[in-house]
Amino acid sequence: MDASRFISSGLIEAYVSGLATSNEVQELERGMTQYPEVAAAVDDCQLDMEQYVTLQSKTPPADLKQRIFHIIINEEVARESGALGADAVTDEFPETKTYVSSTWRLVAAAAIILLLGSLFLNYFFFGQINDYKGRYETLLSTHNSLASESNLYRTRIDQMEHAIDLMKNPSMKTVKMPGTKPFPTALATVYWNQQSKEVFIMVNNLPEPAADKQYQLWAIVDGKPVDMGVFEMSNPHELLQKMKSIDNAEMFAITLEKKGGSAVPTLDQMYVAGKAS
């Protein structure tokens, strides 16, 4: 067989796709050794096949398997009946072999390569999807965290704006309560609405109490202490804490009591006091 018949017979394609028989492989390899153009044709076919896989990789059609089997069955029936034998050998090239199975071999090879390419791409894109999913979940978590912080800051701003509006009210009386002699650095302020009788406390500087202790506000009315309620120190962003309302008061004071408050003030634990008039 000369070089041109090797190249046109379909044996090279079967060899590259791995579908050639052992005898065909030996025959082609002898031709590659004998004819440089045959070896070059094999290299070109391998390169074309690789480029084809790269450019055309996709999921094969669902009916490809049935189509392949249909081609194989038809050609086998034709071969057995002798329909393909008459033209297989010509007078000009009596020694030439015609490979009647080259068509279906190419189709089968292409199907196998497409399937392998599809599996590779599916694996690759599955990994990419998982990676993007992980990134999306991270971004979503970050977004939710920022949204939560934003809501917290918005709440604090609203609280501060509300406190400022209360303090700016013309009916609001400000009562400063400086520290007593035992606690000179302590400081707190009472905001007392003369119309609504509402009372608010703002802690300027009070030490954090023990876990079983709590600060309590008192109003002095007709020389007697009146309980105005206990308040917390745990929320420094809440400028004003609302206390009990009162109609009239001569002064205000804060003492440190047991948690929950006391019926009467502990005078030696009086931290701040200030006159209302």
Reported as a single tens digit per residue, the pLDDT across 29-80 is 888 888 888 888 888 877 777 666 565 555 556 666 677 667 767 766 666 6
> Are 109 and 18 part of one and the same domain?
yes
Structural domain count, the chain: 2
How far apart are alpha carbons 240 and 164 in whole angstroms?
A: 9
Distance CA 272, CA 277 (A): 16
Asked whether 235 and 210 are in contact (CB, 8 A), the reply is: no
Beta bridge partners of residue 213, listed in sequence order: 258
Q: 37 and 116 share a domain?
A: yes
Do 176 and 122 reside in the same domain of the chain?
A: no
Please state whether 18 falls in left (phi above 0), alpha (psi between -120 and 50) or beta: left
What's the average model confidence in pLDDT over 100-124? 62
% of the chain with per-residue pLDDT over 70: 65
Instruction: Report yes or no on 141 lying in a domain.
Output: no
Residue 239 is assigned to a structural domain of this protein: yes
Residue 155 is assigned to a structural domain of this protein: no
What's the DSSP call for residue 179? B
Q: For residue 257, which phi and psi values (nearest 5 degrees)?
A: -125, 175
> Are 92 and 180 found together in one domain?
no
- Is 41:7 a contact under the CB 8 Å cutoff? yes
pLDDT score of 114? 67
Residues 107 and 215 in one domain: no
pTM, two decimals, is: 0.46
Distances (CA, A) of 43 to 7, 35, 178: 12, 13, 97
116 occurs within a structural domain: yes
Band of pLDDT at residue 178, cut at 50, 70 and 90: very high
pLDDT value of residue 272: 98
Same domain, 7 and 63: yes
Last residue of a domain, one of 72, 98, 126: 126
Find the CATH number of the domain harbouring 257.
2.60.40
Check: CB of residue 198 under 8 Å from CB of residue 245. Answer: yes
**Residue 165 within a domain:** no
CA–CA distance, 98 with 103 (Å, rounded to integer): 12
Given strand 172-178, what is the order of strands in its sheet?
172-178, 187-193, 199-205, 241-242
106 and 22 in one domain?
yes
Domain containing residue 206: 172-275
The pLDDT tens digits for 219-277 are 999 999 999 999 988 665 578 899 999 999 999 999 999 999 999 999 999 999 999 97
